[in-house]
Structure 1
């Protein structure tokens, strides 16, 4: 079934296409009967790392009987729909995909998050209100709750104006949201100034149960661009704090085993992660690019625990020098590697003869089905930018990390991996700011020979995945605490 709202496209996905993420605490038929008149609107921030986890949350909602309207920007909607290879229509579907305009021009740079955020916060409320009214006119199930990314505080204001319940979704670590909620205290304690810039060269703790943080590596302070720093600071302190304080619930794609300190500090944050399609034997939805499906066959041909998986997410950009060091470093390891070079991430020219030299043991793709890759027995480690989605996917598969953070929360995420969970190593830059081929080779060798790190990763995997079982933390937070109240 296809229709349109405000120039957007609608995809209906039947519940039979979406297997249960969690076993029902009570009889499934009873849950679906209770959820029959529940209809939630779900709105992510229009960035890859935000769309994927909220899409997974939405599919969890539908598998438990809720009707979901998933709202992307028009630009993002087209990307998601074109890359979603297993999309199917269903007459009795519980999820519809719709879109609203982001108000940018076709040629505008949608990775200019400052302009995108400001434009949407000014013009988006009227669009969303109109969309909500239109949906209610043509649906027997009126909208009962709006669930918004914590970067979309203006959505919460629309929900309040229309008298609809609201919930905030945090796609990053709970620690990042906890940091956002403590900005005023950090300013009062003269740790940062009113623009979020560090005033002290010392580590700080939000509480004695949380790891220390370096103010220079706060999520808004480490992009390398002062203008971008300010934009991220404004978004987090304005929208994030407002959304969290106004919402009936804060749900987080994290896990109590990973961040006990952050969840103890803010008990109203409910971890429901890891949100993974692979736990349902399903394919992940929400990608902006089509995944290269030849990855699986290639991995099948590699020895167990031998492959270095290299992927830096949807935003990281390397220059020619850094790309060359990475390419040659992977070659020097003499190990099989699967390297994701995202469309538009670089105009890199490989060294002369490189592709021929690594053809027997290296594979380079433009985008990968990452959850399936990390779940493959041939993968030995994950060289990553340490975005939170990647961390959740790596941890859930017991894969050790080589940490190469790029910006924002990725630096603090690295602290979790390297210092708290002890499931990986960091890659260090030289005096010119480059991670050299020698450093790459050295750290790969150290990681793959470190049995303790691997044991830590497997132990953490077991604890995290156990939380999804009936009666345990993530399971209960989603199926018992949150879903019935929508």
Structure 2
């Protein structure tokens, strides 16, 4: 019996690769055959980080395409990466699909593309292949993209995406307030980079979302009910990390230091501050030292992920005598098995950049947040955490743009003494993890989506 064959293609960033890889694992468990397309640079990073995925080898294959950048180019230059990638990759994706279709009886019947790779819609149209869009961020962020014309008509932004009003807006009366200055494309980098993201990522993403047969989201009805009511085309199938029945994730760009789990085993229950800021956040030396000294001042055990490159091109430098002073109370690692860390009983809170992947992991493990967003959608995710779900508190910068050690220490103490936030986090955990259990909404939506991929029948949102 032939398997239905699909192509999955993420935006080449860790927070995009991980959830789509989890989706691929779900699809293969339902009998779909998956070809997962990364850029060559991302593919090498995955392989270098001891990549493994527990999918049947006959149902999952990894392939790669060039992104148009030179080997020495900086992939953190999001504007340049986006332009070169979007110019070259459509042709390369066509070549891969044609090659598969020539050599394989199980031809590609559907492309499932990251919503930030909207150019894929033109490949799907040209080749006559069905298209579904995958949203790795909050559904609300994609909802903003799908509301571009309304935002222009209402003069919230101009036709180039630049905010026209310095006031909070709502996409609907039941959705959270949003700051136009924090729309995804308005806070990625400098003005030139922001314009590239708007022109290439947002407008193409809007076209793809409108043209796609279906949109699947790594979210739940419980987390974003207003968005899924406003855009019923969106199907929440998350949290994907909770669907695999294990705590081991796939798709990391760095080798995980599992010694931190042994260290966590030695710490008392609900005492450890877990500090991790994802794959893009950069701190200058002053901010790095303030954070280091704040963690020391809390007198609490802490696990701190000090990622390679967290200080940009400079090597981070701990304050004089710091490592000796904190001793075994502090554990610094270059990368951590985050899902397993957040699932550990010794972890009391999560100091996070509020990327959606980290947000979903924290929520799924019932961990309260200390919110420190860096760019893009992270500011809105903080709004969800602090104002809507009430499962965390925000860290504020002073007049010089620094989050001071006093602010960090104060908010840590505030969070750890707040029983209501802890209760809210545990209640939300129960709701979202229940959603992916057999017969419940996210699980039903996933099953119905897979059925559509297999036979083309229409599907509807499970409430």
Q: Do Structure 1 and Structure 2 share a fold, with TM-score over 0.5?
A: yes
In 2, Cα distance between the equivalents of 1:426 and 1:177?
23
> Which residue number corresponds to residue 160 of structure 2?
195
Contact 2:28/2:55 (8 A) holds in 1: no
Matched, 1:186 2:151: yes
Contact 1:61/1:483 (8 A) holds in 2: no
The change in CA–CA distance for 1:326 and 1:278 in structure 2 (over 3 A counts) is farther
Contact 2:276/2:304 (8 A) holds in 1: yes
Question: 1:308: how far off?
Answer: 0.4
Matched, 1:452 2:420: yes
- State how 1:330-341 maps to structure 2 within 5 Å: 330-341=295-306
In 2, Cα distance between the equivalents of 1:85 and 1:266?
36
The change in CA–CA distance for 1:368 and 1:483 in structure 2 (over 3 A counts) is farther
SS of residue matched to 1:234: helix
In 1, Cα distance between the equivalents of 2:50 and 2:236?
27
Count residues with an aligned counterpart. Answer: 451
Instruction: List per-residue Cα deviations over 1:119-142 (Å, max 9, x = no partner).
Output: 122221111111101112222211
Structure 1 range deviating more: 266-275 or 76-85: 76-85
The change in CA–CA distance for 1:311 and 1:130 in structure 2 (over 3 A counts) is same
Contact 2:273/2:350 (8 A) holds in 1: yes
SS of residue matched to 1:68: strand
SS of residue matched to 1:65: coil
Question: 1:195: how far off?
Answer: 2.3
> Which residue number corresponds to residue 438 of structure 1?
406
> Which residue number corresponds to residue 216 of structure 2?
251
Structure 1 range deviating more: 444-453 or 177-186: 177-186
> Which residue number corresponds to residue 93 of structure 1?
58
Q: Select which of 277, 289, 296 maps to 2:254.
A: 289
In 2, Cα distance between the equivalents of 1:89 and 1:145?
19
Matched, 1:308 2:273: yes
> Which residue number corresponds to residue 140 of structure 1?
105
> Which residue number corresponds to residue 54 of structure 1?
20
In 1, Cα distance between the equivalents of 2:408 and 2:241?
29
Question: 1:116: how far off?
Answer: 1.5
- State how 1:60-71 maps to structure 2 within 5 Å: 60-71=26-37
In 2, Cα distance between the equivalents of 1:223 and 1:103?
21
- State how 1:70-85 maps to structure 2 within 5 Å: 70-85=36-51
SS of residue matched to 1:339: strand
Contact 1:278/1:371 (8 A) holds in 2: no
Question: 1:203: how far off?
Answer: 1.2
SS of residue matched to 1:220: helix
Question: 1:394: how far off?
Answer: 0.3
Contact 2:119/2:205 (8 A) holds in 1: no
> Which residue number corresponds to residue 168 of structure 1?
133
Q: Select which of 230, 239, 252 maps to 2:204.
A: 239
Question: 1:86: how far off?
Answer: 3.8
> Which residue number corresponds to residue 226 of structure 1?
191
Instruction: List per-residue Cα deviations over 1:47-84 (Å, max 9, x = no partner).
Output: 11111110110011001111100000111001112213
In 2, Cα distance between the equivalents of 1:369 and 1:102?
28
In 2, Cα distance between the equivalents of 1:213 and 1:226?
20
In 2, Cα distance between the equivalents of 1:239 and 1:111?
21
Question: 1:150: how far off?
Answer: 0.8
SS of residue matched to 2:63: strand
> Which residue number corresponds to residue 458 of structure 2?
none
TM-score with structure 1 setting the length: 0.90
In 2, Cα distance between the equivalents of 1:291 and 1:433?
31
- State how 1:300-449 maps to structure 2 within 5 Å: 300-346=265-311, 347-449=315-417
TM-score with structure 2 setting the length: 0.95
The change in CA–CA distance for 1:44 and 1:344 in structure 2 (over 3 A counts) is same
In 1, Cα distance between the equivalents of 2:328 and 2:452?
53
In 2, Cα distance between the equivalents of 1:278 and 1:465?
8
> Which residue number corresponds to residue 457 of structure 2?
none
Contact 1:53/1:275 (8 A) holds in 2: yes
Structure 1: state its 5+ residue gaps: 1-32
SS of residue matched to 2:351: strand
Contact 2:11/2:114 (8 A) holds in 1: yes
The change in CA–CA distance for 1:87 and 1:479 in structure 2 (over 3 A counts) is closer
Contact 1:253/1:275 (8 A) holds in 2: yes
Pairwise CA RMSD: 1.5
